[in-house]
């Protein structure tokens, strides 16, 4: 990692937070600790760290509330820490705009691996090239849809669309091969970094959120179609 990444750890267990901070500091991360949900909202928006590790159970307000409040003002990565095997926590976090989740208390090296994978996907987005969409410099243009890879911004018919990091990556993946079906397996491998097990519904939920944000007029044809048994397709005729 060429430069120190700014990481904000929102955790009210300060002993645990200090251990994580000391571990990550060895791997070129600049870690700040916030122990209160209310303070976390202000600091995430003001400081714009590269990545936020956000616990769910916090004083002041929950991590879910923090995620909901900052998501429109923060385009960086949010990694939620959820309770052991709590599917509700995981689903809620993803619905509110978290990019990924880990089970608390995750082994430090596994946490480091997950953080690096998320950052690699963000850092590498600018260098990926498509083969079926029109690209000019750092832009992908598909009819009314424009994706700027440098600013990580998206406009549709001239209207800015606010996307989370995970939603942006998902849209880019679909836009690089427009009109082609992208399988859940391919999406899971590219976005989450591991194979699809046939049960994980997080990709479906992300598609649903992305579809809602792009579908300003519900009377218009869907921009992202579900192809039963195969995956998803960005429909160029609808753009």
Q: Where are the domains of the chain?
A: 5-124, 128-238
User: Residues 33-48: pLDDT tens digits?
Assistant: 999 999 999 999 999 9
| pLDDT at residue 233 tops 60 | yes
Q: Which of 124-128, 144-148, 201-205, 229-233 shows the lowest mean pLDDT across its residues?
A: 124-128
Specify the CATH number for 128-238; select among 1.10.40.30, 3.40.50.150, 1.10.10.10, 3.90.330.10.
1.10.10.10
pLDDT for the residue numbered 196: 53
User: Residues 116-169: pLDDT tens digits?
Assistant: 888 877 665 544 434 444 554 568 888 889 998 888 889 988 889 988 877 888
pLDDT for the residue numbered 155: 92
Span between the terminal Cα atoms of the chain, in Å: 38
**What is the average per-residue pLDDT within 41-63?**
95
**What is the average per-residue pLDDT within 192-199?**
55
Specify which of 58-72, 104-118, 164-178, 196-210 reaches the highest per-range mean pLDDT: 58-72
pLDDT for the residue numbered 127: 45
DSSP 21-79: HHHHHTTTEEEEEE--HHHHHHHHHHH--SEEEEESS-SSS-HHHHHHHHTTT--SEEE
pLDDT for the residue numbered 221: 63
**Assigned CATH for 5-124:** 3.40.50.2300
Higher-confidence position of 22 and 215:
22
Q: What angle do CA 15, 20, 24 make, to 5 degrees?
A: 150
Cross-strand partners of 78? 52
pLDDT for the residue numbered 119: 84
Do 5-124 and 128-238 show the same overall fold? no
| pLDDT at residue 90 tops 70 | no
CA 96 – CA 108 distance, rounded (Å): 25
């Amino acid at each position: 990692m060429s430069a120190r990444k700014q990481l904000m750890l929102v955790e009210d267990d300060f002993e645990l937070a200090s251990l994580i901070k000391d571990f990550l500091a060895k791997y070129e991360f600049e870690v700040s600790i916030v122990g209160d949900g209310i303070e976390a909202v202000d600091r995430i928006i003001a400081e714009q760290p590269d990545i936020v590790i956000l616990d769910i159970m916090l004083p002041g307000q929950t991590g879910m509330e923090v995620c909901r409040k900052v998501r429109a003002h923060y385009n960086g990565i949010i990694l939620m820490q959820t309770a052991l095997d709590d599917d509700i926590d995981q689903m809620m976090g993803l619905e509110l705009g978290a990019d990924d989740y880990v089970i608390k208390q995750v082994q430090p090296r596994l946490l480091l691996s997950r953080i690096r994978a998320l950052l690699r996907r963000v850092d590498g987005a600018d260098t990926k090239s498509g083969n079926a969409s029109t690209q000019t410099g750092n832009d992908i243009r598909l009819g009314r849809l424009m994706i700027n890879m440098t600013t990580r911004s998206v406009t549709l018919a001239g209207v800015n669309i606010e996307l989370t990091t995970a939603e942006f990556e998902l849209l880019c993946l679909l836009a690089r091969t427009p009109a082609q079906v992208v399988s859940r397996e391919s999406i899971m491998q590219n976005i989450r970094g591991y194979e699809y097990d046939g049960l994980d519904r997080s990709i479906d939920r992300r598609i649903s959120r992305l579809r809602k944000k792009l579908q300003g007029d519900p009377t218009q044809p869907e921009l992202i179609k579900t192809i039963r048994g195969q995956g998803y397709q960005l429909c160029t005729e609808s753009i």
